[in-house]
Amino acid sequence: MSDDTRGLKRGLTSYGDAGFSLFLRKAFIKGMGYSDDALERPIIGVVDTSSSYNACHANVPDLIEAVKRGVMLAGALPVPFPTISIHESFAHPTSMYLRNLMSMDTEEMIRAQPMDAVVMIGGCDKTVPAQLMGAASAGIPAIQLVTGPMLTGSHRNERVGACTDCRRFWARYRAEEIDDQEISEVNDQLVPGAGTCGVMGTASTMALVTEAMGMMLPGGATAPAVSADRRRIAEATGACAVSMARDGRTPRAIMTRKAFENALTVLLAIGGSTNGIVHLAAIAGRAGLSLDLEAFDRIGRDVPVLVDLKPSGRHYMQDLHHAGGLVTILRALREHLHLDCVTVTGRTLGEEIDAAPAGFEQEIVSSVADPVYAEGGMAVLRGNLAPGGAIVKQSAASPQLMRHRGRAVVFSSVEDMGARVDDPDLDVSAEDVLVLQNAGPKGAPGMPEAGYMPIPRKLARDGIKDMVRISDARMSGTASGTIVLHVTPEASAGGALALVRDGDMIELDVAARRLTLDVPEEELERRRGEVTERSHEGSDRGYLNLFLSSVLQADRGCDFSFLVPAATGKVPSSDD
Ligand code: FES
Ligand code: MG
């Protein structure tokens, strides 16, 4: 570590005189009370994403203390620094709109400041993908730590947790099954404390696939936010970052094609959030790999859902932690994984599985022979309505709607849906197909989680719980239903979705992986001439301007075109 490109000497600010630049840097950091001894050690940056807007990150200050302890015990100097923080409910217009900004912030602050490795503390949905995208691009050794899932709450003796139960109670309220008093009571219990949503939402999904990819310590995905386990993991993460700095183990050495294949396999086996596929496409893109949706779908034909967590199943993340966490899943999936992938520890995934505490009887993770759902959690659909692909979370859909033909009821935007979906005069029946246009990456903009369209109130009152719904939007990982998402290209980028009119017939056939708009090609061509480009207020400048001019479609992870290097390969790959 005596080398001139390490520690405080790394990436000197340019004053044209290297000696003076270091002298000045030292003078300022000594102004915070550091000794020469402290400053001559490797520096481990620690990304602080705490914010009073972000309950999912409320334990970050505690985790930073534990990380610092781990770094110092291993003989290096921890230096926490902030980046932006994104919480799902507090990010307007959407958290997805800001994910790439956070990835740029993370990348550039890692690059700008002297550090030999970095610990990234994320958790809430978009933060972990943003940090991994940034780290893949920045290139120095990096390790992910998550804040961990929140514990469950209790409402009238019923176990509840964000956010599947938030949706369930709200749907019951809309259907007038519960009153004002009860909806306000349950509102106090759904988020009982610090941490990320306790179901298999996007945060849990990203934590598990990140551990599977080798970018997090074994056991790091599931420990509850407020547990002692979580702090011990944080301490060990700090120590691991020091060894990574010494060995020069970079994200690109860990996030290889095979590591992404492991992540995709785990994504399917956990019944993970549909957002997971968008984020993995974006992270892989930063590592020079393009996502092959067809090959992903083929993996899903072989890899069943093994984890019985809401929204596809019954349990919560703390139960998965008690069932052994990710390693229980990895053991069950063993023959579907590349065991030779190197992880942050320097050992391979296979070595880590073998070194983990022995397995035991539990009821959260099932075997491949007796799965929760016979295929992978997601299927990829194609057809004239989605030539670039669309996703359906089949494990959380209604079996009787998986093959369905119905009349389209079209909403031209999220606002139009909000204004009309509950109109008593809306011409809609349970067999119809709800279609939402202009809610994709460019359309809304920011690809909101509006794909979980509400069941029109008059049908909800009659007890209708699910309908086929199709959009270019995303859906929260905590939601369920027969919902087709990420239609590509989106309506606002010339997609056929923009051409659907009320009364058109649409056919969904999940088993055949088809999504068809039953309208003659000549008629679609004619309608194409009627489509007008949507304008967005304020798009003449600023981040919105950058976003609209650069955002890629869902199949490319909605990254910005200028952040993605030329692809050198595909993932998953069909050879080997
Ligand atoms: Fe942060 Fe769900 S809102 S993880
Ligand atoms: Mg979410």
Q: How confident is the model at residue 355 (pLDDT cuts 50, 70, 90)?
A: very high
Burial class (CB in 10 A: 0-12, 13-18, 19+), 184: exposed
Class of domain 389-535: alpha beta
Contacts of 234 (CB under 8 A, 6+ apart): 62, 63, 64, 66, 67, 70, 145
Q: Which ligand has the shortest distance to the CA of 87?
A: 1
pLDDT above 70 covers a percentage of the chain that reads: 99
Is 561:550 a contact under the CB 8 Å cutoff?
yes
What letter does residue 57 receive in the DSSP assignment? G
Residue 4: per-residue pLDDT: 62
For the chain, give every domain's residue range: 41-151+193-355, 153-189, 389-535
Going across the sheet that includes 77-82, the strands are 77-82, 43-48, 117-122, 142-146
**Phi and psi angles of residue 18, each rounded to the nearest 5 degrees, phi first:** -60, -40
Average pLDDT of the chain is 96
Least confident of 125-134, 256-265, 291-300, 566-575: 566-575
- 119 strand-pairing partners: 46, 143
The secondary structure of 81-99 as a DSSP string is EE-----GGG-SS-HHHHH
Distance CA 416, CA 419 (A): 5
Task: Please report the atom of ligand 1 found closest to the CA of residue 88.
Answer: 3
Residue 3: per-residue pLDDT: 55
Report whether pLDDT(477) > 90: no
Cα 312 to ligand 1 centroid, rounded to whole Å: 18
Other beta carbons less than 10 A from residue 487's beta carbon: 32
Cα 115 to ligand 2 centroid, rounded to whole Å: 32
Cα 210 to ligand 1 centroid, rounded to whole Å: 17
* Ligand 1 pocket check for 190: Cβ under 6 Å: no
Cα 125 to ligand 1 centroid, rounded to whole Å: 6
Cα 279 to ligand 2 centroid, rounded to whole Å: 13
> Mutation test of ligand 1: which of 53, 160, 197 has the most ligand atoms closer than 8 Å to its C-beta?
197
Residue 2: per-residue pLDDT: 44
Q: How confident is the model at residue 575 (pLDDT cuts 50, 70, 90)?
A: low
- Pairing state of beta strands 403-411 and 43-48? unpaired
Report whether pLDDT(576) > 80: no
Task: Please report the atom of ligand 1 found closest to the CA of residue 478.
Answer: 2
Spell out where 62-161 has E strands: 77-82, 117-122, 142-146, 153-155, 158-160
For ligand 1, atom 1, the nearest C-alpha belongs to: 124
* Cis status of the peptide bond prior to 399, with omega within 30 of 0: no
> Mutation test of ligand 1: which of 50, 54, 56 has the most ligand atoms closer than 8 Å to its C-beta?
56
Task: Please report the atom of ligand 1 found closest to the CA of residue 162.
Answer: 2
Q: Diameter of the chain by CA atoms?
A: 76
Query: For 320-338, what is the mean pLDDT?
Result: 98
Task: Please report the atom of ligand 1 found closest to the CA of residue 125.
Answer: 4
Cα 162 to ligand 2 centroid, rounded to whole Å: 9
Query: For 34-60, what is the mean pLDDT?
Result: 97
Paired tokens of 534: 């949507």
Report whether pLDDT(300) > 90: yes
- 390 strand-pairing partners: 381
Residue 163: per-residue pLDDT: 87
Residue 311: per-residue pLDDT: 86
Q: Which ligand has the shortest distance to the CA of 90?
A: 1
Cα 448 to ligand 1 centroid, rounded to whole Å: 15
**Phi and psi angles of residue 484, each rounded to the nearest 5 degrees, phi first:** -95, 125
Sign for the CA dihedral angle at 317, 318, 324, 325 comes to positive
* Ligand 1 pocket check for 56: Cβ under 6 Å: yes
Other beta carbons less than 10 A from residue 259's beta carbon: 23
Q: Alpha carbon of 523 to those of 496, 517, 518: distances in Å?
A: 12, 11, 11
Q: How confident is the model at residue 275 (pLDDT cuts 50, 70, 90)?
A: very high
Distance CA 139, CA 253 (A): 10
Contacts of 178 (CB under 8 A, 6+ apart): 169, 172
Sign for the CA dihedral angle at 286, 287, 289, 292 comes to negative
Q: What angle do CA 285, 266, 368 make, to 5 degrees?
A: 150
Q: Which ligand has the shortest distance to the CA of 279?
A: 2
* Ligand 1 pocket check for 203: Cβ under 6 Å: yes
Tell me how many helices (H) and strands (E) the chain has.
20, 16
Residue 387: per-residue pLDDT: 96
Query: For 56-66, what is the mean pLDDT?
Result: 98
pLDDT above 90 covers a percentage of the chain that reads: 94
In what helix (H) or strand (E) does residue 483 lie, and over which residues does it extend?
Answer: strand 483-485
Residue 344's SS3 state is coil
* Ligand 1 pocket check for 88: Cβ under 6 Å: yes
Distance CA 136, CA 251 (A): 6
* Ligand 1 pocket check for 201: Cβ under 6 Å: yes
Q: Which ligand has the shortest distance to the CA of 476?
A: 2
User: 505-547 pLDDT, tens per residue?
Assistant: 999 999 999 999 999 999 999 999 999 988 999 999 999 999 9
Cα 111 to ligand 1 centroid, rounded to whole Å: 28
- pTM across the whole model: 0.97
For ligand 1, atom 3, the nearest C-alpha belongs to: 88
Return the axis-axis angle of helices 95-112 and 542-550, rounded to nearest 10°.
100
- 528 strand-pairing partners: none
Burial class (CB in 10 A: 0-12, 13-18, 19+), 340: exposed
Residue 480: per-residue pLDDT: 87
Report whether pLDDT(1) > 90: no
User: 158-191 pLDDT, tens per residue?
Assistant: 999 998 899 999 999 988 999 999 999 999 999 9
Contacts of 316 (CB under 8 A, 6+ apart): 149, 152, 159, 161, 198, 199, 309, 310
User: 13-29 pLDDT, tens per residue?
Assistant: 888 899 999 999 999 99
